[in-house]
Amino acid sequence: MALTKCLISFNDGAMDFSEEELAIVTQAGLAVAREATEAGVWVFSGGLTDHRGASVVAVDGTVGVGHPDDAGEHLGGFAVIDVASRDEALRWAAKIAAACHCAQEVRAFVPDPPR
């Protein structure tokens, strides 16, 4: 069976909760991660630090601080899952969206070329 790795992600600032709300959302998110792990589809996940502190390496090797497009949307966190279909990815994204109280974007990774 061919599987598809998918990125389920949310924007920076989408999970701007009070300490109390964040604790509830964190537990709900962990419960979905456990469920996905038990289902054998969880690869890994992570939340990202503020994009304004990111290092940006230019093609000439110079290093800057902060994203060059501060007006745009930035990745805030993500999960990578390995599923059999887009529909299955969308079902997991719906569970994550409900747990995290924010919309999730779903995108499939381009398959690696044969080595």
Q: What is the pLDDT of residues 14-37, one digit of tens each?
A: 878 888 998 999 999 999 999 999
Can you give the pTM of this predicted structure? 0.85
Return left, alpha or beta for 12; rule: phi > 0 is left, psi -120 to 50 is alpha, else beta: beta
Q: Is 1 a residue whose pLDDT tops 80? A: no
Query: What does the alpha-carbon distance between residue 62 and residue 96 come to, in Å, rounded to a whole number?
Result: 37
Name the CATH code of domain 4-108 (choices 3.40.50.300, 1.10.150.120, 3.30.70.1060, 3.10.20.310): 3.30.70.1060
Query: What does the alpha-carbon distance between residue 54 and residue 57 come to, in Å, rounded to a whole number?
Result: 10
Report the helix count and the strand count for the chain, using DSSP H and E: 2, 6
Label residue 20 exposed, middle or buried (CB < 10 Å: 0-12, 13-18, 19+): exposed
